[in-house]
Every structure is written in C-alpha cells, then in structure tokens.
Chain A
Amino acid sequence: MTGGMTRPLSRRARVLLPLSVLLVVLASWEAAVQATRTQGLVPHPGGVLWSGAQLTANGVIFQAMSGSLARVLIGFLFGACVGIPLGLAVGAFGTLDRALRPVLDALRSIAPIAWIPMAILWLGVRGNAALFVVAYGAVFPFIVNSSQAVRQVDRRLLSAARALGAGRWVMLRSVLLPSALPMIFTGARIALAFAWASIIAAELAVGIKVAGHGRSVAGIGQLMVETLYVKRDVDALVFYMLVVGLVSFAIDAGLRRVQERLLPWKSH
C-alpha cells in the first residue's frame, strides 16, 4: 500500500496517464452534449472555451476581476492590521488568551457570509458590505497563526540570548521576529485564500439583492449572478468558476514562492 509495495511510475507515465484520461473525459463529454443537443442547458468544453475567449477579448473578465481583487486586498490588509496585533497579544499573555478564547472561537465559527444582512445594513450594497465580509474572514487566520507563532518560540533561545547579554531590541530583532515570522506569513497565506473565497460568496449574496437594477456588475461574484439569472449562460458560468479557481491557485503558489524567498529559514 505504501513504500515498498508498489513500484513508482516513470515520469512520462505520470504525465501522459492523467492527460489521456482527461482528454477522453472531455471528448466524451463534448460528444454526449452534441449528441443529446443540450447545449445551453449543460455546460460543454467547447462552449466554455468559446465564451472564455469572448469574455477575455472584450475585457469583461478583467474589469470584474480588478473590482473583486481590490476589495480582497483592502479586506486582507484590514485583517492583518487587526489580526496580527491581537494574535500576538493573545499569544504572549496567557490570561488574555483564556479570557478571549471562547469569544474568538465562537466568532471564528460564524461563517463570514452569515454577516451579510448586517453588513448591508451598516455599509450598503455597493461594495462595502462585501468588504466587511472579506475583512471578517481574513482576521481569524491572522489571529490564530500569530498567537501560535508567539507560543512556539523556543524558550531556550530566549534564555540563551538573555544570558549572552542581548538587550530588548536585539532580542526582538534577532530572536523573536525570525522565529515568529514564518508562521505569521503562513497565516497570511491562509487569510488571503479565505478572503478570496469570501469575496465570491459576498458578491454572490449582494449580487442577488441588486440584480436587475442595472448596476450589478462590480465584481466577479456579481457577474456570476448576472450570468445566472439574466443571461442564463452556462458555459460562461463554468469559465468564471475556472478563473476563480485559477486565481486561488495563483495566490497560493505566488505566496509560497514569496515565503521561500523572504523567509527561507523555516517554512510550515
């Protein structure tokens, strides 16, 4: 089952095998849709490619994407500004940790999207409600990882530095920060991924509220709602889904790269 029980495949087989299975699946899918004449009801590979090419050419996808990404970035930064100090404080002071833990755990268990009615009430439909949802989702990974980062600093390193006569500043710069940063950065990676998922959810929820008022296209979520309820274009919907997935993938891969480059000494 593991290790010695099965022989590893050659590199070529590892690429060709899934690729050929994928091609067979896509081809038979396309054939099935063509044969049953259900284009427009069921998404099919050819249609997805075609609407993808159109939406890329007329720039619709980029416009929506920049709106969504801007909100994700603002919400993410807000999450960092609140979450990192709070997480560090909770990690450093056990009393604070025990006082706040049930509250933070309960708040964390509220799916960010559940706040959407309150967010709309407080901040309005046009963008800011979605921003609230994103910021809410991004705060918790920062809190969790920052507090964990403080807790796992090796006490022996601290005492060693103190015994060698390190001052406060040296201690912070040379011991605390280097050992805490990788974990905080991992928190940032989780937060950004979570923020991206939350923005889609928030825009979907907000988009349904304003769909049909002629001002619904502001982000990729709203675009999906419009495609679903107004245009009823299945293929475009699948294309948007793939783009959303591609962005998540790019965010994660990109931040992993940055982490390896900036903080090469330890990665979680």
Chain B
Amino acid sequence: MSRAGARFGAVALPLSGVAAVVVVWEVASRLAANATLVPPPLTVWRAFAAMQGSDLPADIGASLLHLAIGYGLGVGAGLALALVAASSRALEAIVDPFVEFLRPISPIAWIPLAILLFGVGRAVPVFLIFYASMFPIFVATLDGIRRVDARLIHAARSLGASRRLVVTRVVLPAALPSVIAGARLSLGVAWMSLVAGEIVGGDAGIGWRILWYQEFFQMDRVMAAILIVGVLGLGADLLLRALQHLARRWNPAAAESAA
C-alpha cells in the first residue's frame, strides 16, 4: 500500500466501521418500528444534543469526581501496600493472603453492604472504585518490583547507595512500566464499578442518570447516556495507553514482561 493509501486506510476504515454500525442500527429501528424500543440514531443524536444544554455536563463532572477520588485513593493504597509488602518478607506474608482472599470478591458484591453502611449516595460509587482499583495495581507493582534485575540493585549497593537511594533511583524506575500497566488494569475495573455503583447505589453521575431517564421512559436519552459511558471509558483507557507507550520507551524489557 502506498503512503497516501495507508493514511486513507487509517481514517476511512475506522469510519466505515462506525458507519456500518449506524446503518445496522437504523435498519433495526425501522424493523422494530418503535422509537421507544429501538430509538433511531438520529433521535439519539438529538437527545444527546438536548442533554448537552441541561444535565449532561454536571453528570459527567459528578462521575469524574467519583472516579478521581476513588481511583486516586485506590491506586494510592494499592501502591503503598505493594511497597510495604516488598519491603519485608514478614509483611508480605501478612498482606498477601488478605489481598488474595479479598481479590476474588468483586466490587459488585460489595454494593449491598456499601449501601447499608453508607446509604444510597456518592460514597457508594467512590468506595467501589477505591476497592476495585486497589488490587490490580497492587499485584502488578509487587510483581514489577520482584522482577527488578537483582544485579542492578547489587551494583547500586556496592557503589555505596543507601537503601532509600536504591528504592527511589533503581527499584521504582525499573518497576514503573509494571506500575502503569497495573494502573491501566485498575482503571478498567474502576470504570465498570463506577457505572454499577452509580446505577445501583448512587444519586449522581452519568450511570445514575441512565436510570433516571429510564424512570421517565426517555429511552433515546438512556441510549445516549449509555454511549457516553462507552466514549468516556474509552477516553480514559486511551490516556493510560499513551502513558504505557511512554513507559515502553523508558524501559522496553520491563514493559514487555508486564504486558
């Protein structure tokens, strides 16, 4: 393929995929012949445009706030726990079984208890996001630290580096790609938990708004909100994918093993 052809393919092909979905959807809505059951693409687009002038910015803001607080706390806690577990075998022996016990309990299963403890409200999605994002980054970071080339550490130590210097200058930089890979996994589950938490136990945010529109049977708006959930989630993932790309240039070997 020529260069112009390649560039054409890079733009035209994805567009044609999107166009195909819109066409299929249009056909489905014509077949169903019921704008509530399958709202036509144009109706959803109009709903989206109408939402922009009303609740949408506030809803997205609320969701992003949930995400920022919950994800920030969760990633912070996961990183701190991983550092603690990596610093001594005894602490690892204590932390690791607890993590392995809690990890299979999906954040979703916490929803009822979270509702009971915090009440329906913003604390429920924030707690779920916190819980969900803690584990992937813990596992990835610990794994990354364990994989740091022991020769690098020995070299630094024999050159007289203090323990702190070894951690900040050798271990953490070498483990960074794993940390970012973990952060990306964390963000994925955090996003799922955000939507579930807002739908089942929240009182603000884009997920909660989906159920709100359902109460008023505005299915075009429901559909628009669902698509917004997808686009926001994709945007967040692309952001971390770009970070991961940077990390790969930083430390190709570690990025390879973390991927």
The CA-CA distance from A102 to B111 in the complex, in Å, is: 31
Partner of B229, one of A18, A98, A105, A111: A111
The proximity string for B residues 112-144 relative to A, scoring 1 for CB distances below 8 Å and 0 otherwise, is 110110000000000000000000000000000
Task: Assess whether A14 is in contact with B93, with CB atoms less than 8 Å apart.
Answer: yes
The proximity string for B residues 182-211 relative to A, scoring 1 for CB distances below 8 Å and 0 otherwise, is 000000000110111001100000010011
> Secondary structure of the B side of the interface?
helix
Using C-beta atoms within 8 Å of the partner chain, give the interface range for chain B.
Answer: 35 or more
Interface size on A, residues (CB 8 A): 65
User: Using a CB-CB cutoff of 8 Å, which residues 42-81 of chain A contact chain B?
Assistant: 43
Stretch at the interface among A3-11, A153-161, A165-173, A258-266: A3-11
Task: Assess whether B104 is in contact with A9, with CB atoms less than 8 Å apart.
Answer: no
Task: Assess whether B17 is in contact with A248, with CB atoms less than 8 Å apart.
Answer: no
Query: Any chain A CB within 8 A of the CB of B251?
Result: no
The CA-CA distance from A102 to B21 in the complex, in Å, is: 11
Identify the interface centre among A7, A120, A201, A234: most chain B CB within 10 Å of its CB: A201
* B-side contacts of A8, CB under 8 Å: 89
Task: Assess whether B233 is in contact with A111, with CB atoms less than 8 Å apart.
Answer: yes
Asked, given contacts A102-B17, A110-B233, whether A204 binds B150 with beta carbons under 8 Å apart, the answer is no
CB distance from B226 to the nearest CB of A (A): 5
Partner of B150, one of A4, A22, A196, A225: A4
Query: Any chain A CB within 8 A of the CB of B4?
Result: no
Q: Which residue of A lies closest to B211 (CB)?
A: A117
Partner of A122, one of B37, B98, B211, B234: B37
The CA-CA distance from A112 to B188 in the complex, in Å, is: 13
* B-side contacts of A115, CB under 8 Å: 226
* A-side contacts of B113, CB under 8 Å: 43, 234, 237-238, 241
Q: Could you list some 24 contacts between A and B, CB below 8 A?
A: A2-B86, A2-B171, A13-B90, A98-B13, A99-B13, A101-B17, A102-B14, A103-B18, A107-B230, A111-B233, A114-B195, A114-B207, A114-B226, A117-B211, A117-B219, A117-B222, A120-B214, A196-B106, A204-B112, A205-B196, A228-B116, A245-B101, A245-B104, A248-B105
B residues neighboring A (CB under 8 Å)? 9-10, 13-14, 16-18, 20-21, 36-37, 86-90, 93-94, 96-98, 101-102, 104-106, 108-113, 115-116, 145-146, 148, 150, 153-154, 163, 166-167, 171, 191-192, 194-196, 199-200, 207, 210-211, 213-214, 219, 222-223, 225-227, 229-234, 237
